[in-house]
Amino acid sequence: MSTLMKRSILLSIWLVSIFLASLPVCGHAAENSFAKKTDFKDNRTIVIEFAGAVDEEWATSPANFKVNEKQNPDVLLPVEKVELSPDKKTVLIRFGEDIDLRAAHVVSMTPVSSEGKNMGPAILDVKKSYFGYLFSILIGAMLINNYVFTKYLGLCVFIGTSRKKDTAVGMGITFTIVMVVSAMISWFLYQYVLKPYRLDYLQVVVFIGLVSLTVQAVDTVLRKVNPALFKAFGVYLVLVIANCVIIAVPLTLASNEYNAFESFMLALGAGGGFLLALFLMSASRERLELANVPPTFRGLPIAFVATGLFALAFMGFSGMAIF
């Protein structure tokens, strides 16, 4: 691995650290200090912890709780029932339908009653930690929704460059750099050019053009800095231009309306997932070269069998929820 590539990796890690350090710490805001903590238990339940025991008659009445999304204060969510824990310090608000855990919610409560005393009304903000949400995007793109093993994208480059670990790691790093740079430029153009001027229908053409420019830049740099790695990539570096993984990331961040931080984490996770897939596949193919494989399965057939087994293994991450 060249010195320039190592420096690029260190610079990327440093930039990620700065981004995460600059993020605000999101929690809950309570106008009543008697309410200690709020959180989502699942997609139909909000949990509220109090500093002391609350009266059961007050706590179990749904009429005492009004919940709405912060962006839609006029639309109240249907509270199905309210449960009180045995120690009477935790209230579980259950809803009749799924709620959007990505959105901030507001819980308005009538004056809290504790041991017959009026503790005053409370308005609580309930939202996921933004750092946790960013981390879930990163891990989701890398493992849970790996673009190779769960979405079956980019198989051409994946199969072609996974014969040797050195080539696979080099392609994975190059692929990640191209993906992050092109995704951030695509996000900027989408948010500030395509959307304001209603040119959304041109997003595929624009994204492919941006990826082409990025790949051409990487092609020129590798040709000068590391000719051996450039020669090992061969035609596959050119194929990155129209690779479906590279195009899928800008389309995903555009459809989900991700901001800059979220788009960066998605691109980094997708690139890291592709690097992980290449490394695992190259390690197994090097071992398969020494294995006693039947003649009819040697080469690509056994490679596809191994890919299918990896895909089955990654399906075990399906449905996982981070934060």
**CATH number of the domain enclosing 115:** 2.60.40.1220
pLDDT on residue 156: 81
**Confidence bin at 64 (pLDDT 50/70/90):** very high
Higher pLDDT residue, 213 or 105?
Answer: 105
**Confidence bin at 26 (pLDDT 50/70/90):** very low
Helix ranges, 87-202 (H): 130-139, 155-160, 165-189
Mean pLDDT of the chain: 83
pLDDT on residue 27: 40
Q: Verify that 123 and 175 share a domain, yes or no.
A: no
Tokens in use for 43? 């997609």
Instruction: Give me the percent of the chain exceeding a pLDDT of 70.
Output: 86
Indicate the residue among 102, 128, 154 that finishes a domain: 128
Residue 322 lies in a domain: no
Residue 61 lies in a domain: yes
Higher pLDDT residue, 74 or 229?
Answer: 74
Domain extent for 148 = 131-317
What is the identity of the amino acid at 18? I
Residue 168 lies in a domain: yes
pLDDT on residue 18: 45
Strand partners, 37: 49
Higher pLDDT residue, 163 or 322?
Answer: 163
Q: Verify that 136 and 274 share a domain, yes or no.
A: yes
Is pLDDT of 125 > 80? yes
Q: Verify that 139 and 114 share a domain, yes or no.
A: no
Task: Give the HSE-up count for residue 37: Cα atoms under 13 Å, Cβ half-sphere.
Answer: 9
Q: Verify that 166 and 268 share a domain, yes or no.
A: yes
Q: Verify that 236 and 94 share a domain, yes or no.
A: no
Q: Verify that 165 and 96 share a domain, yes or no.
A: no
Look at the chain and report how many structural domains it folds into. Answer: 2
Q: Verify that 111 and 236 share a domain, yes or no.
A: no
**First-last CA distance in the chain:** 35
Report whether 5 contacts 221 (CB < 8 A): no
Summarised one tens digit per residue, pLDDT across range 174-186 is 888 888 988 999 9
Q: Verify that 153 and 292 share a domain, yes or no.
A: yes
**Confidence bin at 65 (pLDDT 50/70/90):** very high
Residue 137 lies in a domain: yes
Question: Which of 11-15, 56-60, 190-194 has the weakest average pLDDT?
Answer: 11-15
**Confidence bin at 92 (pLDDT 50/70/90):** very high
Summarised one tens digit per residue, pLDDT across range 258-300 is 889 999 999 999 999 999 999 999 999 999 988 888 988 988 8
Q: Verify that 59 and 167 share a domain, yes or no.
A: no
Is pLDDT of 201 > 70? yes
Residue 7 lies in a domain: no
How many residues make up the chain in this entry? Answer: 323
pLDDT on residue 3: 56
Taken in order 107, 108, 110, 112, the sign of the CA dihedral is positive
Q: Verify that 214 and 283 share a domain, yes or no.
A: yes
Is pLDDT of 117 > 50? yes
Is pLDDT of 30 > 50? no
Q: Verify that 312 and 169 share a domain, yes or no.
A: yes
Q: Verify that 97 and 240 share a domain, yes or no.
A: no
Predicted TM-score of the model (pTM): 0.69
Indicate the residue among 113, 128, 143 that finishes a domain: 128
pLDDT on residue 320: 73
